[in-house]
Amino acid sequence: MIKRPALLACALLLLALIPTSSQALPKGTKVELYKGGLAFPIDMAWVEGTKKIFFTEKDSGRIRVMVGKDLKSRACVDLDVDPEGEQGALGIALHPRFKKNNFLYVYYTNASPNEHRVTRFTVRNDRCVDPNHIVTGLQTGGGYHNGGQLEFVGGDLYVSVGEAHEPSEAQDRSSRLGKILRLNPNGSVPEGNPFDNAVWSYGHRNPFGLAHKPGTRQIYSSENGPSCDDEVNKIVKGKNYGWGPNYDCGSAGVGPNPKGPMVRYENIIVPTDMWWYRGRLKSLSGSLYMGDYGNGRLHRLVMNKSGTNVTADRIIHDGDAGITDVAKGPGGWLYFMTSSGMFRIVPR
C-alpha cells in the first residue's frame, strides 16, 4: 500500500483497462471535514446505530475511540508496534455481533517478536482487554508488502496478507504470505477452504483493501502493483491472482490459470481500502468506493447489477492528501480518511 491460448486472453485484458473519468460529486452533496488533527489513521470501524467509531493509528499503535466528533483521550489499547515503512497498526474490524460479544479485531505489526498478527480484543468501557492472538507469525518484509485488512463476510473473517517482498511466496499455496485468508472468528480454519489451510486465494502482491457487497459473499480487493498494474480484483475461492517471480506488466500474471483484474491501473495510484456503500445518500448507493493514496482521489467503481464487472471508474473527489480508508459511518453517510483527518459526504 501506502505502496506496491490468445485472442480471448487479449480481449479480456483490454476489458480490464477501464478509463478513469472525472465527475463531480452527485448534485446536492458535499465533502465536509468531520474530524481534523488526526495522527495517521489507517482504518475505521463504526458501531452501527451509534455515533461510535474505533480507528487505528499507524505509527503510535493506538486504537482510538471517537463518539460523535469527540476523540477520547484514552485509547482503547496502546499496541507496541513497529511502524517502519508501511507497518504499524493497520486493519480493524468489529465482529458482526459486536453489540453482544464486544469483539474487536486488529491487524498490526508487533514490535517484539517482530511479526504481523491479528488480535481479538473484548471491549469493555471503551477499553480493549483480554487479547487473544488468533493469527501470529506472519513474516514482515522490511517495512513493506504487509497487506493488513480485515473483513467479515457471512460470519467468516477474511485477512489480506502481503508477500513480504518475496514474490515466490505468493505462488506457494502452503504459505500465508501473498494471500487472502479465510478464518473462523476464533482464528481456526473453517471447513470448505480450497487448500486444507487458511488460504482462500493466492498470487497476491500487496492486497491493501477488502470489501464485500452487502447481503452477499462477493469479495473485492485492491492491490498495489510494482511500477505498474495496481488492481481491483473480484476474489474467488481458490483462484490465482498472478503475482509471482518474473511477472510481466499488463499480463494476467504467472502460475497456473492466473485470473486477471477487474480494473488495472497501468500507472500506479496506490489504491487503499474500499467500501461497498449502501446508505442514506441514495445518489451514492450501490457502488464500490476506493481511496487512492498516490493522488488523493476517491474512486466510485460503478458495477453491473450482479457486481461482477466494473462499468465505470469515476473520480468523485480529488483532494490534496492521500486517502487511507473508505467506510460507512455515523448517520449512514460515506466517510473517508487521510493521514490527518476524517471526512464525510453529506447533503449540501
Contact 322, 338 (CB under 8 A): yes
Please check the confidence at residue 18 and state whether its pLDDT lies above 90.
no
The HSE-up count of residue 108 (CA atoms within 13 Å, CB side) is 34
Please check the confidence at residue 309 and state whether its pLDDT lies above 50.
yes
CA angle 133, 138, 139 (to 5 degrees): 145
| pLDDT computed for residue 24 by the predictor | 84
| pLDDT computed for residue 22 by the predictor | 56
Residue 47 lies in a domain: yes
Q: The domain that contains 236 carries what CATH number?
A: 2.120.10.30
Residue 204 lies in a domain: yes
Contact 142, 85 (CB under 8 A): yes
| pLDDT computed for residue 44 by the predictor | 98
Q: What is the mean pLDDT of residues 27-36?
A: 96
Q: What is the mean pLDDT of residues 102-130?
A: 98
Residue 59 lies in a domain: yes
Cβ neighbours around 138 below 10 Å, total: 23
Q: What is the mean pLDDT of residues 255-269?
A: 97
Residue 122 lies in a domain: yes
Q: What is the DSSP string of 65-134?
A: EEETTEE-SS-SEE--B--STT-SEEEEEE-TTHHHH-EEEEEEEETTTTEEEEEEEEEETTEEEEEEEE
Could you report the per-residue pLDDT of 202-247, keeping only the tens digit for each? 999 999 999 999 999 999 999 999 999 999 999 999 999 999 999 9
Please check the confidence at residue 117 and state whether its pLDDT lies above 90.
yes
The residue segments making up the domain with residue 146 are 7-347
Residue 1 lies in a domain: no
Sign of the C-alpha dihedral computed for residues 100, 101, 107 and 110 taken in this order: positive
| pLDDT computed for residue 131 by the predictor | 98
Please check the confidence at residue 175 and state whether its pLDDT lies above 70.
yes
Residue 100 lies in a domain: yes
Contact 183, 199 (CB under 8 A): no
Confidence (pTM): 0.94
Report the chain's mean pLDDT, rounded to a whole number. Answer: 94
Task: Work out the pLDDT band at 112, boundaries 50, 70, 90.
Answer: very high
Burial class of residue 253, CB neighbours in 10 A (0-12, 13-18, 19+): buried
Q: Which of 116, 13, 29, 11 is nearest to 348 (CA)?
A: 29
Number of domains into which the chain is organized: 1
Could you report the per-residue pLDDT of 120-150, keeping only the tens digit for each? 999 999 999 999 999 999 999 989 999 999 9
Residue 2 lies in a domain: no
